[in-house]
Amino acid sequence: MSEAAATRSTQVAVVGAGFAGLSAALDLTERGVDCLVLEAQDRVGGRVLNHEIAGGKVVEVGGQWVGPTQKALLQMAARMGVDTFSTHVEGENLIEYGGRVSRYRGTIPRINPAVLLQVEWVRRRLNSMAATVPLDAPWGATRAKSWDRVTFGEWMRVNAPSRGARMLVRLAIRSVFGTEPEDVSLLHVLFYVHSAGGFDSLVDTAGGAQDSRFVGGSQLVAIRMAADLGERVLLDAPVRRIENFGEGVRIAAAGATIDAEHVIVAVSPTLAARIEYDPALPPRRDQMTQRMPQGAIIKCMAVYDEPFWRTDGLSGAGLSDGGSVNAIFDNTPHDGTPGVLLGFLDGRAARRWGSASVSERRAEVVRVFTRLFGTRASSPSDYVERNWAAEPWSRGCYSGAFGPSGWTDFGRALREPVGRIHWAGTETATVWNGYIDGAISSGSRAAAEVAT
Ligand SMILES: Cc1cc2nc3c(=O)[nH]c(=O)nc-3n(C[C@H](O)[C@H](O)[C@H](O)COP(=O)(O)OP(=O)(O)OC[C@H]3O[C@@H](n4cnc5c(N)ncnc54)[C@H](O)[C@@H]3O)c2cc1C
């Protein structure tokens, strides 16, 4: 293809074919606006990715669950003809704490009554403080400055003084953010809790963010969204440079130059910062992208002939304070076989185990599963994992999170357009920020911004 042939024009260019970019493009198309999605990889879905296991069945190595209040995602899945099914929760959960494994029911294990009381106090305090944080302007909360000057870790040490309560709250933060309580500002946690509709919505399986899964895998929704867009999605087209003139933008992607009236950059702030802008972005926008790092997650699954734990009266869910796998779920496909146990290495564990080999990680994950679920867990037929910090087009997950002063000093730059550059991506969402649902609504918001 010649250089000239590779120059194209469109009304709106969209950078990224994750759920945010695809949703923006579908909305623009519905509004009669011509658009072109430029995706760096040879696939769509971004942080959502199916993986085929034996028998042509699918597990997800990226985002997978949907909760009942995640209306944008539920509606999109229904529109794309993708069904949901409930996450398996029947049976007792397991916790490994201080070297002992015990069973419990519900979300919060009963380590002892004092711990339970402290965790309940944390839950209530977080919910009531979070309710005062405006979702579209967290910096406007009455106590925004004082909450944004401290890390969640500092707040946690005062409000969850016992070792057991601190351990449980730390596990929750790692599971929700993929980072450590010391890395994230208290205000960011409060914003996130409010954005999800409460602490329980974040951590619960049934009724919460982990309530349901997609038949055929979550990426199927993105694949069908892209199919509807057809030739408007250009794969293998990493955007390297955006020139931002008064009257339009010129985009340099591998193999193509695109002239457009507007561009929607539908990637995380971390990746948006790796694009070159001419003229350079305003300092507050650029510095904002330097203060919202992605979390670290390695999603690991062991495959067994069948979900043997179910016959032992176990749900397959578990928690461990052993320092590697934090949270465990039953991730068996829709029809009940093969059995799949899913374990997350997150936060500091992902940082440490990220430099180990796959076989070392596999051995560690299987060791943890065996300690909790017994010797039948020791010999899986397959092992599947994805280290998201090692993905060049993600650089971590689940999403970006502000450290201290992030929201109050830089938060205004998160969504504010720069000339004809508009920003989408789950990190810009007000509702279900950090989730697929938030990605979809962020795309719709950016499309409306451009079209009006
Ligand atoms: C392990 C894991 C588990 C998760 N679990 C859940 C879950 O259960 N439920 C849930 O709701 N969410 C979950 N999430 C989070 C969820 O996946 C994300 O919030 C969501 O997918 C983000 O979508 P996005 O469109 O904003 O960004 P992305 O998915 O990151 O999409 C951005 C796209 O842009 C592309 N791109 C980046 N830079 C460029 C460039 N310069 N040029 C062109 N293209 C570019 C990327 O390749 C990517 O395709 C999980 C994520 C991970 C990784």
Choose one of 267, 268, 301, 399 to mutate for the ligand 1 pocket test, by most ligand atoms within 8 angstroms of C-beta.
267
pTM over 0.95: yes
Residue from 451, 401, 410, 424 nearest 186 by CA: 401
Q: Tens digit of pLDDT for each residue in 366-377?
A: 999 999 999 999
> Rounded distance, CA 62 to CA 45, Å?
9
Could you tell me which residues come within 8 angstroms of residue 245 by beta carbon, excluding any fewer than 6 positions away?
A: 419, 420
What spacing in Å lies between the alpha carbon of 216 and ligand 1's midpoint?
A: 18
Coil/strand/helix, residue 212: strand
How much distance in Å is there from the Cα of 160 to the middle of ligand 1?
32
pLDDT of residue 1: 38
Q: Residue 357 burial (CB < 10 Å; 0-12/13-18/19+)?
A: exposed
Q: Are 325 and 388 in contact (CB under 8 A)?
A: no
Q: Is 318 in the pocket of ligand 1 (CB under 6 A)?
A: no
Tell whether ligand 1 has an atom less than 6 A from the beta carbon of residue 46.
yes
Residues of 411-450 as b/e, b for ≥16 C-beta within 10 angstroms?
bebbbeebbbbbbbbbbbbbbbbbbbbbbbbbbbbbbebb
Q: Which atom, in ligand 1's list, is nearest to the CA of 253?
A: 42
Alpha carbon distance 307, 309 (integer Å): 6
In sequence order, the 6+-apart residues with CB closer than 8 A to the CB of 122 are: 156, 159, 160, 165, 169
8 Å CB contact between 77 and 70: no
pLDDT band (50, 70, 90) for residue 13? very high
| Residue 5 binned pLDDT confidence (cut-offs 50, 70, 90) | very low
For ligand 1, the distance from its centroid to the CA atom of residue 159, given in whole angstroms, is 33
What is the best residue among 22, 41, 48, 205 to mutate for testing ligand 1's pocket, by most ligand atoms within 8 Å of CB?
48
Smallest CA-to-CA distance from 242 within 87, 419, 21 is with 419
> Which amino acid residue places its CA nearest to atom 53 of ligand 1?
62
Taking the CA of residue 267 as reference, the ligand 1 atom at the shortest distance is: 32
| Ligand 1 in reach of 340 Cβ (< 6 A) | no
What φ, ψ does residue 137 adopt, rounded to 5°? -155, 70
Burial class (CB in 10 A: 0-12, 13-18, 19+), 213: buried
The residue-averaged pLDDT of 9-32 equals 98
C-beta of residue 88 within 8 angstroms of C-beta of residue 340: no
Model pLDDT, residue 2: 39
pLDDT band at 362 (very low <50, low <70, confident <90, very high): very high
pLDDT for 109: 87
Could you say which DSSP state residue 313 is in?
T
Query: Omega into 398 within 30° of 0, i.e. cis?
Result: yes
Tell me the best of 326, 414, 436, 445 to mutate to test the pocket of ligand 1, counting ligand atoms within 8 Å of each CB and taking the most. Answer: 436
pLDDT tens sequence across 310-327:
999 999 999 999 999 999
Is the separation of the CB atoms in 27 and 448 below 8 Å? Answer: yes
Q: Cβ(62) to ligand 1 under 6 A?
A: yes
Neighbour-count burial of 116, counting CB atoms closer than 10 A to its CB (0-12 exposed, 13-18 middle, 19+ buried):
middle
User: Looking at ligand 1, which residue's alpha carbon is closest to its atom 17?
Assistant: 63
pLDDT given for residue 232 in this prediction? 98
Amino acid identity at 65: W
Which residue blocks in 39-81 are alpha helix, DSSP H?
71-79
Q: Is the pLDDT of residue 255 over 80?
A: no
Nearest CA to ligand 1 atom 26: 425
